[in-house]
Each structure stands twice: as C-alpha cells, then as structure tokens.
Amino acid sequence: MTGPAAGDAERLLEEARGLTDPRLARLAEAVAAEHGDVLGAALAYALRSEGKRVRPALVLGAYQAVGGLNPAIGGVGAAVEVVHTYSLVHDDLPCMDDDDQRRGRPTTHVVYDVPTATRAGWLLVSVAVETLAEAVEDLGLTPGILGQMAGVLLEAGGARGMVGGQWLDLEAEGRSPGLTGLRAIHAAKTGALIRAACGLGALAGRASAEQIMVLDRFASDLGLAFQVADDVLDATATSVQLGKTAGRDAALAKSTYVAELGVDGARREAEALMERAVAHLDGSGLAAAPLRALAHYIVARRS
Ligand code: GRG
C-alpha cells in the first residue's frame, strides 16, 4: 500500500494494539489461573495469539470518529477481539475448516485436543461479555448502554451473524450459491462482527442515531470487502504470509468470490465495495480519516 493513507491506517492499528494487547495479555493470565491445567493453558494460548487487530482498530476508529477520547475504549476492542479469537479456534476445528495453522502457529486443537479447544472457544464468549462489561464501567457508560452494546456483540456472534454465516458456508461447500447467496454468507460470517466493531465504537462514543447509521453503512460494505479480500489472499498469498494454510478454500471446494469471479474479478469487487464503504462517510461530518485509511488497508493488505 502506498500514499499518505498507509501511515494513517498503521497509526490506528498501532494505537489499537497498544490499547488492546495488554488487556488480552492480562485476560490470558486470569483465565489460565481461573481454569488451571490444560483448559486454562488452551484458553491462554488462544488469547496470546497475534492477529492484525483490525476489529479493535475499527472500534477505536469509530469511537474517535464520533469524538471519543477515553483510552478505556481498548477494553471494548479487547471484547470484540476475544469473540474473533473464539471464532478462529472453532473455525479451525476438524468439523469446520479443519486447519492446523493459524496466526503462524499450530491451531489450539492441534496443541491441545479437539474437546479442549471446543470448550475453550465457548468459554471465550463469556470472557468477551465480562470484558465488555468492565470496559463499559471504565468508560462511565450507563447500564442501558451496556445492554445495547452486549446485544450488538452477541447478535453478531449468533444465528444472524457468525454462527449462521458459518453454517451456510459449510453447507455451500462443493456448490455454487451464486453471488447473492455468497454475499449473504460473507455478510453474516465475517461482516457481522465488523459491523459490530464499528457499532460498539459508536455506541461507546455516544453517537447520534444519524452517526450510527452512517457508520453501519460503512461497516456493512467494508465487512464484505474484507471477506472478498480474504478470498483473494487465500488464492494468491503463501502460507507463510497468511500464517495459515493457503489455498484452503479451493481444497475444501469453498464457495468464494474467487470461485465466482476469478482473482482479478474478486480484486475489483473488493475495491468497489471498499470505495462504496468510504463514500458513506462523505459529508457525514465524522472525523473519519483513520477509518478511511483502514478501509484502504483492508483491501490492500498482504496477510
Ligand atoms: C457453530 C456453525 C458454528 C459456527 C461457530 C466458527 C464460527 C462460529 C464462525 C466462523 C467465523 C469466521 C472465522 C470467519 C472468518 C473471518 C475471517 C476472514 C478471519 C480472518 O480475520 P483476520 O484476517 O485475522 O482479521 P487475524 O488473525 O489478523 O485476526
């Protein structure tokens, strides 16, 4: 990625990592102590993995876009990252996408075992909710706002979000649901948590209904762009670049944008979705330059 936007995106990601990673490290220690033995170790292993932290950066970007200034927003980013971490642990299980590498390391079920990784994944859902509740208290927000935020986070993980999308994704293996079906899978499997990240940042910053709507439109298109870019990377990058097994989509006969449109067509679609996402921010009055830069990064990234 070239141009001034690259620096803005990297600054937002750096700031998000700075606010989120120490919290994730503390959570890893706490869960290891609470659950002990193998389960505690598996939970800590999952939490200690190093991702790009795009979702915490979206939380932070949306929060700052509506004028939020409190570093305790890092706790909201951590809550979203914990949900994302749980989804990766389960996604890699043999009954799902069956992968042995993630974020440059063996997957949780390979290091421990399938029952332990399955339990650890489910337990991370409650860790995420506890983390969110603490962050909301630190931010001085009301229980009413906590209720709204918990609803947004849990809905993104449920039947209309990750679980529903993953289910459709598994069912579509070896078939072609067409672009409309694929869009629905991607929007739920990946897009829902990206929308939740922006929505949580906005709610934490006490955004107006209008601001929430603009950020949700941005996030909806960006969430799809993110998964289309992921499809392209799976087909074009190496396992070392990705930190997981490249070419897995083709091996599993997954339904992807690359399968539907080819690599070049999928690249163009990711760009178009990203451009549509950032266009929602035009004239909104939001302080959204870092979010725009992050959107460009999301389709230009190499891992
Ligand atoms: C019970 C059916 C059922 C499902 C459980 C596992 C699951 C819920 C949902 C899968 C959601 C999932 C893993 C979607 C893929 C999202 C995606 C593109 C992940 C990669 O995100 P990056 O690139 O990864 O941000 P890092 O490692 O950088 O955080």
Q: What is the spatial distance between Cα 33 and Cα 27, in angstroms, rounded to a whole number?
A: 10
**C-alpha 66 to ligand 1 mean position (Å):** 28
Domain-located, residue 303: no
Q: What is the spatial distance between Cα 252 and Cα 292, in angstroms, rounded to a whole number?
A: 34
Check which CATH number belongs to the domain holding 11 and give it: 1.10.600.10
- pLDDT class of 5 with cuts at 50, 70, 90: low
Domain-located, residue 200: yes
Domain-located, residue 291: yes
Q: Which of 50, 83, 86, 90 to mutate to test the pocket of ligand 1 (most atoms within 8 A of CB)?
A: 90
Q: What is the spatial distance between Cα 8 and Cα 13, in angstroms, rounded to a whole number?
A: 9
**C-alpha 90 to ligand 1 mean position (Å):** 8
Domain-located, residue 302: no
User: In the predicted model, what is the mean pLDDT of residues 33-56?
Assistant: 97
Domain-located, residue 29: yes
Atom of ligand 1 nearest to the CA of 227: 18
Q: What is the spatial distance between Cα 73 and Cα 201, in angstroms, rounded to a whole number?
A: 8
Residue 102 is part of which domain span?
A: 4-297
pLDDT at 185 over 60: yes
**C-alpha 95 to ligand 1 mean position (Å):** 14
Domain-located, residue 289: yes
pLDDT at 247 over 70: yes
Domain-located, residue 240: yes
Predicted local confidence at residue 3, as pLDDT:
41
Q: Give the count of domains, the chain.
A: 1
Q: Which residues pair with 106 in a beta bridge?
A: 101
Predicted local confidence at residue 9, as pLDDT:
96
Domain-located, residue 27: yes
pLDDT at 250 over 50: yes
Q: Could you tell me the two tokens for 197?
A: 């990240």
pLDDT (tens digit per residue) in 66-113: 999 999 999 999 999 999 999 999 999 999 999 999 999 999 999 999
pLDDT at 4 over 80: no
**C-alpha 140 to ligand 1 mean position (Å):** 31
- pTM summary value: 0.97
- pLDDT class of 7 with cuts at 50, 70, 90: confident
Q: Whose CA is nearest to atom 3 of ligand 1?
A: 163
Q: How many other β-carbons are positioned within 10 Å of the β-carbon of residue 252?
A: 17
Collapsing DSSP to helix, strand or coil, 67 comes out as coil
Q: Cα torsion at 106, 107, 110, 115 (round to 10°)? A: 160
